[in-house]
Structure 1
Amino acid sequence: MNPRDRRAARHQPSEPGGTDPAPRRRALPITVEQVVDTALGLVAADGYEALTMRRVAAALDTGPASLYAHVVNKADLDELLIGRLCAEIALPEPAPDAWRDQLRDVCAQLRDQYLKYPGLSRAALAAAPTDRQVARVGEGLLALALAGGASPQDAAWAVDALVLYVAAYCLERSIAQRKAVHEDAAWVLDREELRRRLTALPAADFPHTTRHAAELTGGAGHDRFDFTITLLINGLGHR
């Protein structure tokens, strides 16, 4: 079975009894799981931008051609990585009286998984949600939104907005942290410096920005994340 067929088989349901309808042949001494483990290790150490098929192959002490016996291409590897992260997400049984808190919790879990691997959420922004674990999380989020009484259309678009925001939030944090590594960009994460720059703007031209610089730069930890997720979820509830 060629790699593309194996990729398609990953999206098919298992046969009764838990057997894979298309079992893999281990023609090489490496497995898909080892490829994913190695790739995640590289991302955790050096960030997603440093991830290449060649680097994964080198870490496995093999050549890039060997990887293609297990993974179709870089896009396929990205899908596998996001799927591995989604496999760690615990989905609750939807409760009509607690669906908002449940949605927030799932979004926070996804955020924490992304932040373990700097920049990996970039792959999620461009990936089609066909991986079974990714689809499982999407199904869980949709069930929670529907449990809150949202129409199917509102629920579907709200879930899309939530997932996009989580990925974008994590990507922004990883980019800012990478920039802060360089001495000339350390001010990026310095709230006091950013506030000083905002208040130094001409008040006549920027009256609101200068007056509310503290609010614009406020928040600690994941305060902004919690605010935005809650805003989206509450908006869905009001509809």
Structure 2
Amino acid sequence: MNNSNRRIISRRSRPAKEPLSRELIVKTAYELLNEQGLEDMSMRKVAKALDTGPASLYVYVNNFQELSAYVLDYGLGQMVYPDSVNGTWKEQLFDRLHTYFLLLFEKPGLAEISLSTIPQGTNFLQLTEHLLAALHEGGIKSTSAAWGVDLLLLYVSSVAYEKVTWKKHGSSQISDIKKTFHDADKTRFPFIHSLREEMFAGDTVSMERFRWGIEVILYGIQQEVN
């Protein structure tokens, strides 16, 4: 049957796709990470979201590890640094690390990525520069500052990932863990038994335990000022 009313749509009339670029790939991967989690930020799924083949992505990023590094740096671009220029160097340092923690906690996939890769881009350089400036003001310089920044960022990433994991699995898992420590045999585990309440103490809202960890790291760094 001849259908003269059939409308033929030319390929030229379709909306043009945005040209593929590293920036577009990273942005798309970041959006997938936020919407579906790290397990869905694969090269294949990023390519599918961009309506292209996985092989075309490798023109712009060498591998998934490099993509993750760019995605983490892109995420760091969402940080809004607190205005604490009038505070002490410790207050400035804590405020910036706390801001970093909140980003990782609110964007769960970033917390996991932060433990396995070093970001590539100016946003990570900016965060590092802020931290080094605060340490410099506190009299911590040279190797102690360089190694100290690495240790502080690793600490924040690990705490954020732990909190994200507990949030993901719900309060029941936390209760089970607490019960295991609380019910520990005082004869076999006398120290655990005596500290069973303190093991899980620390106000989450005020970040008391989080701040204490930073203070401990800073104390160690300050013992080797050079």
TM range (shorter): 0.7 to 0.9
TM-score normalised by length of structure 2: 0.77
TM-score normalised by length of structure 1: 0.73
Distance across 1 between alignment mates of 2:69 and 2:41? 14
Q: Identify which of 149, 154, 163 aligns with 1:173.
A: 163
Report the counterpart of residue 208 of structure 1 in structure 2: 191
1:196 maps to a residue whose letter is K
Q: Identify which of 200, 210, 217 aligns with 1:225.
A: 210
Structure 1 residue 165: Cα displacement:
0.7
Structure 1 residue 147: Cα displacement:
0.9
Runs of 4+ in 1 over 4 A off after TM superposition: 90-97
Distance across 1 between alignment mates of 2:158 and 2:71? 17
Structure 1 residue 114: Cα displacement:
1.4
Structure 1 residue 135: Cα displacement:
1.9
Report the counterpart of residue 5 of structure 2 in structure 1: none
Q: Is the 8 A contact 2:81 2:99 kept in 1?
A: no
Q: Percent identity?
A: 29
Distance across 2 between alignment mates of 1:83 and 1:33? 12
1:197 aligns with 2:186: no
2:117 maps to a residue whose letter is A
Distance across 1 between alignment mates of 2:21 and 2:105? 26
1:46 aligns with 2:44: no
Q: Identify which of 61, 83, 93 aligns with 1:103.
A: 93
Q: Identify which of 74, 78, 82 aligns with 1:84.
A: 74
Q: Which has the larger radius of gyration?
A: 2
Q: Is the 8 A contact 2:73 2:119 kept in 1?
A: no
Distance across 2 between alignment mates of 1:41 and 1:116? 14
1:120-140 Cα distance to aligned partner (Å, 9 max, x none):
233333334552221222122
Quickly say closer, same or farther: Cα 1:225–1:67, change in 2 above 3 A.
same
Quickly say closer, same or farther: Cα 1:177–1:56, change in 2 above 3 A.
same
| Pairing of 1:26-41 with structure 2 (within 5 A) | 29-41=19-31
2:180 maps to a residue whose letter is R
Distance across 2 between alignment mates of 1:93 and 1:34? 31
Report the counterpart of residue 130 of structure 2 in structure 1: 140
1:70 aligns with 2:83: no
Give the number of aligned pairs. 206
Q: Is the 8 A contact 1:44 1:116 kept in 2?
A: no
Structure 1 residue 55: Cα displacement:
1.0
1:167 maps to a residue whose letter is S
1:158 aligns with 2:124: no
1:147 maps to a residue whose letter is E
5+ residue gaps in structure 2?
Answer: 1-16
Q: Is the 8 A contact 1:104 1:230 kept in 2?
A: no
5+ residue gaps in structure 1?
Answer: 1-26
1:226 maps to a residue whose letter is R
1:179-220 Cα distance to aligned partner (Å, 9 max, x none):
x16xxxx63222xx4333222221112222122211112234
1:81 maps to a residue whose letter is V
What's the C-alpha RMSD, in Å, of the aligned pairs?
Answer: 2.8
Distance across 2 between alignment mates of 1:158 and 1:96? 23
Quickly say closer, same or farther: Cα 1:236–1:95, change in 2 above 3 A.
farther
Quickly say closer, same or farther: Cα 1:209–1:171, change in 2 above 3 A.
same
